[in-house]
């Protein structure tokens, strides 16, 4: 219930959606200062209280069919930005300890920026072609929170086995990465009205999400895997 008992029953909930003088992150806003400019809209998407942020991170790993509160897909930029920062910290740590066997010519920041830009745009275009009802902002937030599956998978593998055990990594991938990819696929499944296109979009997006995690693990975190070994051999010669 938000704003005097008026309920906003939607799947995607953005911080710029107001109901009774409140935005859906629980903060009250001044109705005279909510002109829809680009700067104010971007600023509003970063206004997430810490308690709400922790809840949104937890929800990003829960399938939407387990209850009404898990059907809400929160649209903000703070959670995805936090996921990118955590991923960058872990990948740069792994990259620094793995040189020269890591991809020295491509930094983790470059890979993360490419993924965070190209993945939502590609998924949005693919969904748009299949008549999906998801906007680019909603797709960015959905896949951004989906990166917490990457964060937990790499963090758990690094903490227990220093990314040296492939078996434990794939076990963590099945739990955290699998739950995150499953939620993304099910949300997209509910937003695509064309039955024939649902399997294509959902399976492709979920597969790319998991494959990106596998690539980051072996390219930057795994201590003994040599990335682009042939290129490095040619360079040394």
65: three-class secondary structure by DSSP: helix
Residue 104 is predicted with a pLDDT of 58
Quick: pLDDT tens for 172-222.
999 999 999 999 999 998 888 888 888 889 999 999 999 999 999 988 888
Task: Indicate the average pLDDT of the chain.
Answer: 79
Q: What is the DSSP letter of 7?
A: -
87: three-class secondary structure by DSSP: helix
Number of domains in the chain: 1
Residue 7 has pLDDT above 50, yes or no: no
Residue 110 lies in a domain: yes
Residue 190 is predicted with a pLDDT of 84
For the chain, helix, strand, coil in percent to 5 are 65, 5, 30
Residue 194 lies in a domain: yes
* pLDDT, mean of residues 96-117: 79
* pLDDT, mean of residues 55-80: 87
Range(s) of the domain holding residue 69: 48-221
Residue 16 lies in a domain: no
Residue 209 lies in a domain: yes
- Kindly state the tokens that stand for 38: 């680009």
Quick: pLDDT tens for 148-161.
999 999 999 988 88
Residue 228 lies in a domain: no
Residue 82 lies in a domain: yes
Buried (b) or exposed (e) across 136-154, using 16+ Cβ within 10 A?
A: ebbbbbbbbbbbbbbbbbb
């Amino acid at each position: 219930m938000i704003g005097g008992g008026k309920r906003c029953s939607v799947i995607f909930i953005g911080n710029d959606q107001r109901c009774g003088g409140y935005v859906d992150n629980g903060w009250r806003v001044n109705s005279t200062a909510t002109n829809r400019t680009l700067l104010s809209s971007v600023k509003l998407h970063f206004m997430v209280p810490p308690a709400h942020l922790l809840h949104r991170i937890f929800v990003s790993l829960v399938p939407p069919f387990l209850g009404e509160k898990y059907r809400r897909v929160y649209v903000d930029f703070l959670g995805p930005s936090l996921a990118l920062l955590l991923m960058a910290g872990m990948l740069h740590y792994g990259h620094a300890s793995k040189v020269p066997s890591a991809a020295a010519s491509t930094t983790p920041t470059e890979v993360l920026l490419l993924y965070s830009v190209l993945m939502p745009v590609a998924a949005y275009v693919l969904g748009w072609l299949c008549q999906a009802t998801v906007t680019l902002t909603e797709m960015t937030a959905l896949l951004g929170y989906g990166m917490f599956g990457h964060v937990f998978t790499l963090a758990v593998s690094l903490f227990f086995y220093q990314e040296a055990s492939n078996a434990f990594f794939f076990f963590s991938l099945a739990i955290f990465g699998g739950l995150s990819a499953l939620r993304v696929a099910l949300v997209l499944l509910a937003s695509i009205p064309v039955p024939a296109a649902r399997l294509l979009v959902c399976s492709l997006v979920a597969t790319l999400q998991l494959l990106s995690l596998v690539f980051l693990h072996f390219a930057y975190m795994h201590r003994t895997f040599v990335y682009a070994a042939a290129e490095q051999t040619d360079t040394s010669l």
